[in-house]
Structure 1
């Protein structure tokens, strides 16, 4: 189980290797949201998303013998790139199992960052089975995308930064909206805030139709999504919350939020226009929640974790059409 001590230890290992992203503001976004909006742009992190934090944390925590044998991961793209780059930076090999329908940009980037990509059919094959089989055959260490204590610890360093930065900006009471798939980022942030900023409350944000975390929190039991694909927010389409992450989410998080595909695209357009940053759809659902679910949020301020910016140019172009 990930703990605050693990998060703080991960922060030490990440020091000098991870970018500390700041909190961005815009009076235009404040007006749209009806409150002060502070945006943490993890789209500016190495490899374009927060996933690099967890990848570096997990790889750097391995003993030398296990690390030198190499690592394997499965991911639709952002964890893939984070693990590939972190492995390359450590001078080791990586194998990444990716769905064949993942955005081509993410597949190409993972290969360019040093990962050996193994593609699979998301609708008919299990990435978990493929990953575990290859790990056993090749003697690789499997680094899961969210249900992995050291990955959660690395993602939790985002929460340490938020706690410090929000305090510097005079914000001690606010919801922290987090794009959520399996819950690694959300649970890591929630653990960090529990001790370092108890007035800040993490809330998971998801696309409608793939809001398993929101429904799980509402019922108190893990709920599944009916489909494995079919939404533009590919980065956060997971079957259900993780076995490790869900107890943390249930204990520490506020109610979940969900948005439509169009709302995610509109948030992408606003992030570009007002903050000059590029978000992918799955990385924009938190901002979309702040802008378009304002009645479900309390307080004078809201903090938004913009989790990733690996948008295909075609998708990003369609998002900008929402400005016209």
Structure 2
């Protein structure tokens, strides 16, 4: 075997195993579809058609992928430190609420100033919320997985309280929400597409996050801490600061996703912010192996699966939650695939 190929094989392990896990999950779900009396071939055909088969469906996919990019980063960034943060849903909700509140404060301000203020408020809200998870982990030893999940429920309850109480628009009768944001603060569509600019911002955020992790001393310290906390401490790295910074950055990304949901989709903060993007971001990050660049194609893939749910429901008579079952099976197979790393002689021999 030539040397360039040998050098490439160890890196291919990080691609081959997630792809194999993805295919295994799809095969298992195909068995499930067959057991309920439906055709797996028809299901996957409709899933492709509804997610990627036409220009309309592709735009719908990209629209759904936009918040998944930022929600995936909320999980992927802390994961480089070995932290499993699953409370991105709470940061998205509070980010959207903070953006809507800021928009009502900034009425009459120039459009760019107002949008920047909304983005900063959303990032601050999300960053502080998930940063608090990192603080609990570092200062009190509280498990970040449990605390982030519980704080997500607290964030949702807090949002519901504020939207149905102090921040409620009196005109919102059947669906409580904040006052609609000024038209000057609405985010438009990418020219030639029915997709808002959140998609572009999400992709740029993934690229910046990759550069931060792979090409800076800060990222090197984070990767070293994730590999061995004790070794990082012996080298004099400020592990506590890294934990707070990474969780804060992850939360800021999720908060920004909430801002785009308000400014580009909903027009106000309401219960529609609780759309499950934060939980889907967990699957995005794990499938991407916590690589910010890998988050981009995975978010588009899962966005396509979600976009196809309506077509599958109409054509095959399956409930809309069928897509959630597929996502759950994929998540389980991805978690199981973690045990496969380092077990294949081909990759071991190349690495040696």
Structure number with higher strand proportion: 1
Structure number with higher helix proportion: 2
| RCO higher in structure (CA 8 A, sep ≥6) | 2
Q: Same fold (TM over 0.5)?
A: no
Calculate the TM-score normalised by the size of structure 1.
Answer: 0.27
Calculate the TM-score normalised by the size of structure 2.
Answer: 0.26
